[in-house]
Chain A
Amino acid sequence: MSSVAPPRLTLVTSVDQQFASGTEKSLAAAYSEHGALIYNFCRRKLDEETARDVTQEVFVAAWRSHQRFDPTRGSLRAWLMAIAKNKVIDSYRRQARRPQVVGAIDPDWSSAESATVDASITRTADRMLLAQALTELSERARTVVELSFFRQLTHNEIADTTGLPLGTVKSDIRRSLLKLRENLAENLESGDV
């Protein structure tokens, strides 16, 4: 056996990092964590059968392009959602080219221009991503952020309401905003996947 001390082992532990590295377990882990979100997003915009197909396409395409995912630029969830969004838009366009629209697609498609529909799909994706990310904040941070977002209180008012020091409110909001932004970052170049 070698007498030379081996290099230290660096473990990659987060699902996002594991997926970027293409480690064996990461596809199942990614699906376990984000499959419901992607499927429900697809289901919001597509009929049942198409939603199933597109969900599957999203994860297979992501897995085959995992090396293009950069965890430093955004979350895996946002990257998967960006892929899903593009595939849903593609699905709309394919259906629009058919003589008759098949399936129960989003009602705003039939009366709106393509750009409007794209914007609607994007907005739904962003709302679902934000809703998920909000649930992952700590209880205190979520309380502070919700007072800002939903009751639209100033930081001073949040401090008064919660009894927290103003500096704590600001730092909670700062950290939360950066985390939320990371969870919404698309991290997807055009034509990547």
Chain B
Amino acid sequence: MSDERPMNPADSEFDHDLLLLEAELGELAREITEADTHLDQPPADIWVGIEAAAGHKATADHEESGAVVGLDQRGFWARGQSSLLAAAAVILLVGVGFIAVARSFGGSELVASAQISNEDLPVEFGGEGSVSLRRDGDDVFLELDLPELPSTAGDDAFYEVWMIDTNVEGMISLGGVSADGRIDLPDNVDHQRFPVVDISVEPFDGDPTHSGQSILRGVLTDVADA
């Protein structure tokens, strides 16, 4: 490409290749029209088609196995159901080598429990743990007994707890993993509707939706049914 502007001796400190790049991109930039910069929003059905085409196999796998599907298959993480709860309950996990929470909450009634693990999740850490759903008067909470997890210090991230329905069509953020392992549930949360307990790694990117990076997951079973 030609550079209409001659290379000025004052630019001599500048790398020659960068000067050529500057000239080349400048020529291209001068061709930019309004049509190049004005972007209309694409019709919504394009994404629907992409999602269907890209997620078809995993959805079929879910239907065959009855397993909890991956979080990407229903697109619900893009809907932002959890922003207020997540914003209110985030607890930063910084400055510690690992977390290993296991506390006893005496006097409460065990309602449901779950074994949680990284089985079927694309992570090499996390191990196994357990979750108990307990009731103490009007208070309902989760008691987490988590394996040692990598520190998120310096990674600009935290661990977040979610309750999800088995069809992965709805989810509730319960906020960050707390130091004492207790996660209070908002009033009127039906754990039978959202029995899947999920622990994810969430970057501090301002996006309140699930990152898709689950590290532990299990399904609550009522004590009465056990």
8 A Cβ contacts from A136-166 to B: 148-150, 152, 154-156, 166
In the bound complex, residues from chain A placing their C-beta under 8 Å from that of B43 are 52
Interface membership of B188, Cβ < 8 A: no
Q: B60 within 8 Å of A by Cβ?
A: no
Min CB gap A39→B, angstroms: 4
* Interface pair A10/B155, CB less than 8 Å apart: yes
With both beta carbons as reference points, the residue of chain B lying nearest to A36 in the complex is identified as B39
* Closest Cβ–Cβ distance, residue B19 to chain A (whole Å): 9
* B213 at interface by CB-CB < 8 Å: yes
Interface segment among B30-38, B135-143, B190-198, B216-224: the answer is B30-38
Is the beta-carbon distance between A127 and B40 smaller than 8 angstroms?
no
Q: Which of A82-90, A92-100, A109-117, A174-182 contacts B (4 or more CB under 8 A)?
A: A174-182
* Interface, chain A (partner B; CB < 8 A): 1-3, 5-11, 13, 23-28, 31-32, 35-37, 39-40, 43-44, 52, 55-56, 59-60, 63-64, 123-124, 126-128, 130-132, 134-135, 148-150, 152, 154-156, 166, 170, 173-174, 177-178, 180-181, 184
Instruction: Check A2–B42 contact: CB distance below 8 A.
Output: no
Tell whether, in the assembled complex, residue B97 and residue A5 are in contact, meaning their CB atoms are under 8 Å apart.
yes
19 contacts between A and B (CB under 8 A): A6-B125, A6-B150, A9-B152, A11-B157, A13-B156, A24-B77, A25-B71, A35-B46, A35-B47, A52-B46, A55-B46, A59-B50, A60-B50, A124-B36, A126-B28, A127-B31, A127-B32, A148-B26, A155-B10
A-B contact count (CB 8 A): 168
Asked if B8 is an interface residue, CB under 8 A from chain A, the answer is yes
| A1 CB contact (under 8 Å) in B42, B100, B209, B210 | B100
The distance in angstroms between the C-alpha atoms of A23 and B5, with both chains bound, is 46
With an 8 A cutoff between CB atoms, is B54 at the interface?
A: yes
Residues of B within 8 A of A39 (CB): 40, 42, 46
Q: Mark B141-167, 1 if CB is under 8 A from A, else 0.
A: 000000111111001110000000000
Nearest B residue to A44 by beta-carbon distance? B35
Q: List 11 other contacts, CB 8 Å, given A39-B46, A170-B13.
A: A3-B148, A10-B155, A11-B201, A27-B72, A32-B78, A36-B42, A124-B36, A127-B31, A148-B22, A148-B26, A149-B26
Contact call A9/B155, Cβ cutoff below 8 A: yes
A28 in contact with B18 (CB, 8 Å): no
Chain B residues within an 8 Å CB radius of A5: 97-98, 148
List of B residues within 8 angstroms of A126 by Cβ: 28
Interface size class of B (residues with CB under 8 A): 35 or more
A6-B21 contact given A13-B156, A25-B72, A36-B39, CB 8 Å threshold: no
CB within 8 A of B203: which of A13, A40, A56, A123? A13
Residues of A within 8 A of B75 (CB): 28
| B225 CB-CB contact with A under 8 Å | no
Query: Do the beta carbons of B212 and A154 come within 8 Å of each other?
Result: no
**Alpha-carbon distance A127/B29, docked complex (angstroms):** 7
Residue of A nearest to B124 (CB): A7
Q: Please give me the residue from chain B that is nearest to A13 by CB atom.
A: B203
Contacts of A184 in B (CB 8 A): 25
Provide the bound-state CA to CA distance between A63 and B54, in Å: 7
